[in-house]
Structures are given as structure tokens and as C-alpha cells.
Amino acid sequence: MVIEERKYPGEFASPRQLHELAEEYRKAATLLLQLGRPGKPLTRAPFRLSAIHAIELYLTALLLHRGYSPNQIRKMQHDLSARTEHALEAGLRLRAKTAKHLQSLSSQKNV
């Protein structure tokens, strides 16, 4: 019986490619923010999702650049708290308030 090894999209992406993709999501978030309407928080949801995804991609690019394997990063799933913690250990410098906010995004999602 032959066991086929699964390949994941982006498994061979370089840190630079992931950074470029993050830039595209950041640009999209900026455009989506303009569609939000005052007093209607749900109209800002697409902006928020794109911005969070951009942050996840930036953190992933940094971790790859610092020597983490795609498999190690994939095991973090979409946990921004874990990615932030590892990125800080890898030398990312963030204000304490920013790091705490990024880490809280994962815990709010699980409530």
C-alpha cells in the first residue's frame, strides 16, 4: 500500500513571497476599510478579516526567515497567539500593548 504524502498550498513559498502576499492583503484591507459605514460594525468585518490575515502572513514570513520549517508553522494553525509568541522569540520587536492585542485575537476567537 502506497501512502501519498499530502502537499499543502504554499509549502514551498519563500519568506519574500509570503511577505508580498501579506502586502496584497494589507492593501485589500485598506480598500475594504473605506466600505465600512459608521454605526454599522458588521460592514467592517471584511476589513478586519483581511487585516488579520495580512498579519498572519507577515508573522509566517518572519518565522520562515528565522528558520522555522513550514511544518512547524502549519502546526500553529491560525493561532495568532502562538505565531506572535514565536515571532517575539525570533527577535520581532513589538510594543507590549500590540503583542498583547495580537495574542488576544486568538483567545477571543475561541469564546
Q: Give the global pTM.
A: 0.85
Is residue 111 very low, low, confident or very high in pLDDT (cuts 50, 70, 90)? very low
In angstroms, rounded to a whole number, what is the distance separating the alpha carbons of residues 22 and 57? Answer: 5
Nine-digit cell at 14? 519563500
Cβ atoms of 29 and 50 within 8 Å: the answer is: yes
* Residue type present at position 1: M
Mean confidence (pLDDT) of the chain:
89
Is residue 47 very low, low, confident or very high in pLDDT (cuts 50, 70, 90)? very high
* Residue type present at position 33: L
Nine-digit cell at 58? 507577515
Range 40-55 average pLDDT: 96
By the 10 Å C-beta count (0-12 exposed, 13-18 middle, 19+ buried), 90 is classed as middle
Q: What pLDDT sits at residue 110?
A: 46
In angstroms, rounded to a whole number, what is the distance separating the alpha carbons of residues 11 and 72? Answer: 11
Cβ atoms of 18 and 64 within 8 Å: the answer is: yes
Nine-digit cell at 7? 502537499
In angstroms, rounded to a whole number, what is the distance separating the alpha carbons of residues 43 and 24? Answer: 20
